Amino acid sequence: MTVKALPVSEQATSLSPDDLRKMFELMLLARLLDERQWVVNRQGKVPFVVSCQGHEAAQIGSAYALQAGKDWVLPYYRGLGVVLTLGMSPEEVMLGVFARATDPSSGGRQMPAHYSSPALHIITQSSPTGTQVAHAAGVGLAIHIRNSVAGKLVDDAVVWVSFGEGASSQGDVHEAMNLAGIHRLPVLFCCENNSYAISVPQHKQMGVQDVASRAAGYGFPGVVVDGTDPIACYEATTVAVERARNGDGPTLLEFKCERLTPHSSDDNDRSYRSIDELTAMRQHDPLPRYASYLKEEGMLTDADEQMMRARLTQQVDAAAKAAEAAPEPDPATVLRHVFAETND
């Protein structure tokens, strides 16, 4: 049941040139915003950042197939590209990086990149890996129950959850896929496989080549996608979304990509990856690849890209500046929100 997605150049797409350019813009924004996070970390302004670099095509391509605010999204901690695609602003992201009071995800309580937004149906996540996959199955179960009780399709939302290939070893991921398989829940299990769980390579993580091959064990399709090709990611996700909306159940999407940075600002990938490997990895950076494609197709010029980069850099500058200037949480609020308050 495992299917290989086609490479970019061969992919037929329903996306318009505007959408294709929009995806590029989101990818570039994600990259610039991500790089800025590292800068403020190395400046000593924020203690920790974690990156999405190398995952932009998978995240933005896949999330581009969702309906923001309707579909339910549970990104893991690399999900910057996902939340930007759904509509979170650079400033909102940077407020989380700086742990400011107005950080919409957690009010400065969680580490950066633990995204949350009730309005965007982005469910708050924790740091232990794989736990969110169980929640995703639960959202799918809730949609299933609601439709069953109604006796008709009253909610055709789908659930999109992401996790790394390392997290796929977690029992919760297995239990969630098993539950989704039983009731054919409308869940897209999206594995962003960058082949490293911090320092542990995939061959020490599992005995199979493709995480997607496990889907067969749960009774639904698993699809291996080139995670550096946003169009392929979009198209594969679109197919899975349609299956889910039609009541045909879950899909396991495996986006093969590279992690272009160390695991986090506290990690040094040179201690476990060779220089050759790190150099070769750069060949799989999705941005230059997708830019070349758009230019070859006549949808983007160098000048366009320069202007776009300048505009986005300004946005990132403004976002970082505003977030840094925003107030820190009031210490007196540390005891709040343990339990519901009357205004919750």
Partner 1 sequence: MEMTFLEAIRAGLDEAMAADERVFIFGEDVGKRGGVFRVTEGLADKYGEARVMDSPLAESIIVGASIGAACYGLRPVAEIQFADFIWPATNQIVSEAARLRYRSNGMWGCPIVIRAPYGGGIHGALYHSQSIEAFFAHVPGLKVVAPSTPYDAKALIKAAIADPDPVLFLEHKKAYRLIKGEVPEEPYDVPIGKADVKREGSDLTIITYGLMVHYALEAAEKLASSAGLQAEVVDLRTIRPLDTATILQSVRKTGKVLILHEDGLTGGIGGEIAALIAEHAFEYLDAPVMRLAGPDIPAMPFASSLEHEYVLSVEDILDKLQAIAAY
Q: How far is the CB of 117 from partner 1 (least distance, A)?
A: 8
* Tokens linked to 78: 């690399």
Q: Which of 244, 257, 142 is nearest to 134 (CA)?
A: 142
Of residues 142 through 181, those in contact with partner 1 by CB under 8 A are 142-146, 148-149, 171-172, 175-176, 178-179
- Closer CB to partner 1, 111 or 278, in the complex: 111
Written as one string, the DSSP assignment of 36-50 is HHHHHHHTTSSS--B
To the nearest whole angstrom, how small is the minimum distance from the Cβ of residue 310 to partner 1?
35
Question: What is the bridge-based pairing of β-strands 251-256 and 187-193?
Answer: parallel
Minimum CB distance to partner 1, residue 286 (Å): 30
Residue from the set 152, 275, 279, 339 that interacts with partner 1 by CB under 8 A: 339
- Residues 82, 85, 86: CA angle, nearest 5 degrees: 90
Q: How far is the CB of 255 from partner 1 (least distance, A)?
A: 22
Q: Is 337 in the site for partner 1 (CB under 8 A)?
A: yes
Rounded least distance, CB 218 to partner 1, Å: 11
Establish if 126 lies at the interface with partner 1 (CB under 8 A). yes
Mask of contacts with partner 1, 178-217, x by CB under 8 A?
xx--x-----------------------------------
> CA–CA distance from 243 to each of 12, 26, 159, 220 (Å)?
19, 26, 12, 10
Q: What is the C-alpha to C-alpha distance for residues 115 and 112, in angstroms, rounded to an integer? A: 8
Give yes or no for residue 70 binding partner 1 (CB under 8 A): no
Q: Which of 2, 85, 110, 228 binds partner 1 (CB under 8 A)?
A: 110
241: Cα within 13 Å, side-chain hemisphere: 19
Query: Residue 13 interacts with partner 1 (CB under 8 A)?
Result: no
To partner 1, the closest distance from the beta carbon of 188 in angstroms equals: 14
Q: Which of 27, 80, 137, 320 binds partner 1 (CB under 8 A)?
A: 137
Name residue 190's beta-bridge partners: 162, 253
Is position 106 an interface residue for partner 1 (rule: CB under 8 A)? yes
| Contact flag: residue 295 with partner 1 (CB under 8 A) | no
- C-alpha dist (Å) from residue 294 to 22, 24, 125: 11, 9, 35
Query: What does the DSSP assignment read for 81-147?
Result: HHHHHHT--HHHHHHHHTT-TT-TTTTT-SPTT---BTTTTB----SSTTHHHHHHHHHHHHHHHHH
Q: How far is the CB of 123 from partner 1 (least distance, A)?
A: 5
Tally of residues, the chain: 344
Positions in the binding site for partner 1 (CB under 8 A): 72, 103-110, 114, 116-118, 123-124, 126, 128, 131, 134-146, 148-149, 171-172, 175-176, 178-179, 182, 336-341, 344
